[in-house]
Amino acid sequence: MTVAGPSYAIAFFIMITGTFLLASVFLKQDINAILSESSPTLRSPTSVATAMFFAFSLVGLFISDAPIRSISVWFRTILYIAVAVLIWGYFSSRKFELQLAFYFLLLMSLFAGTVALISLYAWPGLIGFLTLQGFDIPLTTARLALKSHCVVMSCLVPIVCWLAWIRGGIWRAFSIAYPAFVYIIGVGANKQAASITLFCGLAGMLFAVLLRKLSGKSAMLVLLSCGFLAVALVSFVFLKLPNVPQDLYANFYFPKSAIDYHRQVIWAFTLNNIIENLWFGIGLNTSNFLPHADVIIPQFNQEYIPSHPHNFLLEIWLESGIFALIAVLAGIGTMLWSIYQRLRADTPGSVALTGYFAAFWSANMYNFSFWSSWWLILFTVCMAMLFATKQNT
């Protein structure tokens, strides 16, 4: 079980909500004011798209093979988004508290990276102790514990680099060196996905800088071109997946160095089942309950769907249907448009926001289940904080 990444995300969530949002309640600040400050987000295009997703995914709850599991995911995801909206409303009018929260994030990232580096290259027992597995664990166990942790760190690189850079002085040297620091950790954990996520985050930051320099029409042309290219690339990958089932999988179109062979089979199996459940899906968080999903593939000694499809597009499409998938894509598009507007306005942190956005959604293409609580918590809280940043922050 990979525990370090989820622990990292959940600890950050508890720190932010406990230190700031809940402190307001206990200190009897004006809760109505916080709610009022948060309410404008409910009228945004992203909120409309999000509401449409939850409405369409309701249908799948009634046909799910595990209705309690699906309903719990449906409600808890709404809860995470609602708390993130409150966090945005709270921080958007409280400059000092937002700066302090960002500073905590910077220090936590430094601490977490140091723990990972020591555990992978010097003393595996450190992560064993922190994850209650004991001091005497082998390097392979340490790597397993840090797999998700490395991807989380890679996702946060754009934010950490920005936070370190704006502090000036020696922090700027740290900002420049931090991506290499995270890359070394990813290599030590033998996690290729961490390197890909890191690259996508840095590419997103460079892309943001480019958009800032272009005129409005040129920037829109580049955005539309990138959107069409992304759709074409994803479609091409899905069309070139192997046929399933087979006694022995061979002649893969994509080399293992590009897309793991087992992952290609997982995606192909998921696509086959999507065709049979195209409109409303099979129920949230139930991909691994499909018939034959738990069948072991002798060639890989793994199941057809080990826990989840390892691709958020396929996962959402399979579990909630085509209409819900379109709503999610619309939500991503509206968020991207909001980020673009912040870039054009030269809002502080907008380049980091673009990089983080790129890193998170790229990681969703080949990694965790989209419904993992810790993964959604990390995304919603970080997005709330970044969107709360204003010109004078």
How does pLDDT run along the chain (393 residues), one tens digit per residue? 345 556 665 566 666 666 666 666 555 556 677 777 777 788 899 999 999 999 999 988 888 889 999 999 999 999 999 989 988 988 888 888 888 889 888 888 888 899 899 999 999 999 888 888 888 999 999 998 888 888 999 999 999 999 999 999 999 999 999 999 999 999 998 888 999 999 999 999 999 999 988 887 888 898 889 989 999 999 999 999 999 988 889 889 999 988 999 999 999 999 999 998 989 999 999 999 999 999 999 899 999 998 899 999 999 999 999 999 999 999 999 999 999 999 999 999 999 999 999 999 999 999 888 999 888 988 999 999 999 998 776
Residues 361, 366, 367, 371, Cα dihedral to 10°: 60
Domain assignment present for 114: yes
Q: Is the dihedral of CA 192, 193, 194, 199 positive or negative?
A: positive
State the Cα–Cα distance between residues 42 and 50, nearest whole angstrom.
Answer: 10
78-133 pLDDT, tens digit each: 999 998 998 898 888 888 888 888 988 888 888 889 989 999 999 999 988 888 88
State the Cα–Cα distance between residues 100 and 309, nearest whole angstrom.
Answer: 38
Domain assignment present for 359: yes
- Residues in Cβ contact with 191 at an 8 Å cutoff, skipping those fewer than 6 apart: 143, 146, 147, 150, 151
Give SS3 for 296: strand
CA atoms within 13 A on the CB side of 102: 28
- Residues in Cβ contact with 341 at an 8 Å cutoff, skipping those fewer than 6 apart: none
Kindly list the distances between the CA atom of residue 152 and the CA atoms of 6, 173, 182, 189, 287, in Å, as whole numbers in the listed order: 9, 22, 10, 13, 24
pLDDT at 283: 94
pLDDT at 1: 38
Domain assignment present for 184: yes
Rg, C-alpha atoms of the chain: 21
State the Cα–Cα distance between residues 71 and 51, nearest whole angstrom.
Answer: 16
pLDDT at 159: 96
Measured from the Cβ of residue 279, the count of other Cβ atoms closer than 10 Å reads 11
Give SS3 for 310: coil
- Domain of residue 147 covers 4-240+305-388
Domain assignment present for 249: no
- Dig out the tokens for 17 from the structure: 């909500």
**β-sheet bridge partners, residue 303:** 296
Listed residue (138, 175, 21) closest to 127, CA to CA: 138
Kindly list the distances between the CA atom of residue 155 and the CA atoms of 134, 227, 268, 353, in Å, as whole numbers in the listed order: 28, 21, 27, 11
**β-sheet bridge partners, residue 296:** 303
Burial classification of residue 213, based on how many CB atoms lie within 10 Å of its CB (0-12 exposed, 13-18 middle, 19 or more buried): exposed
Preceding amide of 124 cis, omega within 30: no
CA atoms within 13 A on the CB side of 329: 13
pLDDT at 179: 97
pLDDT at 109: 87
pTM reported for the whole predicted model: 0.93
Domain count, the chain: 1
Listed residue (287, 263, 264, 261) closest to 274, CA to CA: 287
Give SS3 for 215: coil
**CA 53 remoteness from chain centre:** 18
Domain assignment present for 358: yes
State the Cα–Cα distance between residues 313 and 328, nearest whole angstrom.
Answer: 9
pLDDT at 166: 95
Q: Which backbone phi and psi does 370 adopt, to 5 degrees?
A: -60, -25
State the Cα–Cα distance between residues 340 and 343, nearest whole angstrom.
Answer: 5
